[in-house]
Amino acid sequence: MYAQMVKTDAARVRSLDEMEPHERAFQERVDAGQKIEPKEWMPEGYRKTLVRQISQHAHSEIVGQLPEGNWISRAPTLERKAILLAKVQDEAGHGLYLYCAAETLGISRDQMYEQLHSGKAKYSSIFNYPTLTWADIGAIGWLVDGAAIMNQVPLQRCSYGPYARAMVRICKEESFHQRQGFDALARMVKGTPAQKAMVQDALNRWWWPSLMMFGPSDDASVHSAQSMAWKIKQNSNDELRQKFVDQTVPQAKYLGLTVPDPDLKWNEEKGGHDFGEPDWEEFFNVIAGNGPCNAERLDARKKAWSDGAWFRDGLTAHAEKAADRRAAAKIAAE
Amino acid sequence: MSSEWPLWEVFIRGQHGLNHRHVGSLHAPDAEMAVNNARDVYTRRNEGVSIWVVRSSEITASAPSEKGPLFDPSNSKVYRHPTFFDIPDEVGHM
């Protein structure tokens, strides 16, 4: 999940009877499956939570370009390079759709960048791991985008119109992302023993961080319950994680790979896999800024922002000059 | 200088003969860049044959709170619909 542990400011989920008329009417619309649109009344908590969730999601798309960007110039063939470039470009677009969706809630783009750069806003823990080999690029598409899809598909039905619509566009492209990753790995496992070992090594390193993307169990979380009542979250973290494991394990088997979890086994009774617990201490450490690449990622974003300042200002100056010239020409013509 | 680029709404004609449809928005310093950016973001997979951009601040929208007064009056006017009338079978297609 690209947005992890989003807080709602709620102490507990209130029933309809406890709500003021405005909020009650709002909740009834959400319950009826209606979409909430930007200028309509909404509870302040709903607005704030969505800003947190959507901006975190957007930041993840943008920061998520960095681990893959690392391999654009080192892709093994021109075809793979073109595909990877297209994927990384898509991620920029996803970030843009999501930033625009968040902006409809009254926060500006610059404010969101500022929150990312200051460390106030988070992005997904997964992008703080390094991409050491070409197999890591395949593993990101297959596992990381695969995990993101689990979460993003239900978000197409979320209660906030602009977010739901952004998700529809994003989901169309995510399927390309996951397939290209799986395809890259499927090619490598048919290669030399060294290439196959490289894929296994990538799976070993990305498996647990991918499971952590869904966040810790939130069955007892009031934030999760509130987000579900608002229909900006549809499934519990454990539910999505289970779905991801059940979908991915047979694919790993097809590739001839071993999932690095000694506790993994099929449970006939529940119709799903049993699996081990991710190292949540590592997760909280990465979230707190102490992952292998946190500093590098944030520095890269800050540098891109400050290095681009002259360009943004230049285009603004050009646009203002051109507007002045048009205005002057209009007066002269009159 | 560090003023934010203005926001533009993007409309794309998907195929010849269809209306332009709102697809999303983006920031750009001027109309020309807005069209360029819209092409790069919203038409990467043959989604369009034509692009309109308009500054978001130039759009006048009806208020959600006026939904009732604006749209309710037409609810009671069934006679505006072709299905309101009984056309005898003998008359055939009309």
Distance in Å, alpha carbon of B89 to nearest chain A alpha carbon: 41
Residue B34 DSSP class: H
The dihedral built from the CA positions of residue A101, A107, A111 and A115, taken in this order, carries a sign that is: negative
Please, what's the b/e burial string for A53-91 (b: 16 or more CB within 10 A of its CB; e: otherwise)? bbbbbbbbbbbbbbbbeebbeebeeeebeebbeebbebb
CATH of the domain at A92: 1.20.1260.10
- Judge if A97 and A159 occupy the same domain: yes
- Judge if A139 and A195 occupy the same domain: yes
Sole residue written with tokens 């703080």: A128
- How many beta-carbon pairs below 8 A join chains A and B? 50
Q: What distance in Å separates the CA atoms of residue B13 and residue B4, rounded to the nearest whole number?
A: 28
In a domain, B20, yes or no: yes
Range with the lowest mean pLDDT among A59-63, A143-147, A190-194, A218-222? A218-222
Exposed, middle or buried: residue B43 (CB in 10 Å: 0-12, 13-18, 19+)?
middle
pTM for this model (two decimals) = 0.93
pLDDT mean over A253-273: 97
Answer whether B44 sits within 8 Å of A90, measured CB to CB. yes
Say how many domains are in chain B: 1
Say how many domains are in chain A: 2
Write out the residue range of the structural domain in which residue A299 sits.
292-333
In a domain, A169, yes or no: yes
What residues of chain B lie within 8 A of the CB of A89, using their CB? 44
- Are A49 and A160 in contact by the 8 Å Cβ rule? The answer is no
- Judge if A323 and A238 occupy the same domain: no
pLDDT mean over A107-123: 96
In a domain, A248, yes or no: yes
Q: What distance in Å separates the CA atoms of residue A2 and residue A59, rounded to the nearest whole number?
A: 9
Q: List, in order, residues 6 or more apart from A220 with CB less than 8 Å away.
A: none
- Judge if A297 and A182 occupy the same domain: no
- Judge if A190 and A304 occupy the same domain: no
- Judge if A266 and A302 occupy the same domain: no
pLDDT at B63: 85
In a domain, A8, yes or no: no
Q: List, in order, residues 6 or more apart from B70 with CB less than 8 Å away.
A: B62
End-to-end CA distance of chain B: 65
Domain end, chosen from A279, A302, A324, is at A279
What residues of chain A lie within 8 A of the CB of B33, using their CB? 315, 319
- Judge if A162 and A271 occupy the same domain: yes
Tens digit of each residue's pLDDT (9 = 90 or more) over A156-215: 999 999 999 999 999 999 989 999 999 999 999 999 999 999 999 999 999 999 999 999
Answer whether A96 sits within 8 Å of B26, measured CB to CB. yes
pLDDT band at A261 (very low <50, low <70, confident <90, very high): very high
In a domain, A88, yes or no: yes
Q: Is 70 exceeded by the pLDDT of residue B49? A: yes
In a domain, B73, yes or no: no
In a domain, A203, yes or no: yes
Tens digit of each residue's pLDDT (9 = 90 or more) over A23-57: 999 999 999 999 999 989 999 999 999 999 999 99
Note the ipTM here: 0.87
Please count the other Cβ atoms lying within 10 Å of the Cβ belonging to residue B62.
11
Q: Tell me which residues of chain A, numbers 64 to 93, contact chain B at a CB-CB cutoff of 8 Å.
A: 86, 89-90, 92-93
- Judge if A326 and A253 occupy the same domain: no
pLDDT mean over B54-83: 91
Q: Is 70 exceeded by the pLDDT of residue B2? A: no
Check CB contact of A39 with chain B, cutoff 8 Å. yes
In a domain, B85, yes or no: no
In a domain, B72, yes or no: no
In a domain, B78, yes or no: no
CATH of the domain at B28: 3.10.20.520
In a domain, A33, yes or no: yes
Tens digit of each residue's pLDDT (9 = 90 or more) over A286-318: 999 999 999 999 999 999 999 999 999 999 999
Q: Which of A39, A100, A317 sits opposite B64 (nearest CB)?
A: A39
What residues of chain A lie within 8 A of the CB of B3, using their CB? 316
Q: List, in order, residues 6 or more apart from A83 with CB less than 8 Å away.
A: A180
The number of residues making up chain B comes to: 94
- Judge if A244 and A270 occupy the same domain: yes
Q: Is 70 exceeded by the pLDDT of residue B1? A: no
In a domain, A4, yes or no: no
Q: Is 60 exceeded by the pLDDT of residue A17? A: yes
In a domain, B79, yes or no: no
Q: Which of B7, B24, B29 sits opposite A315 (nearest CB)?
A: B29
- Judge if A38 and A185 occupy the same domain: yes
Average pLDDT, chain A: 95
Q: Which residue has the higher pLDDT, A92 or A15?
A: A92
In a domain, A105, yes or no: yes
Distance in Å, alpha carbon of B93 to nearest chain A alpha carbon: 38
Write out the residue range of the structural domain in which residue B14 sits.
5-60
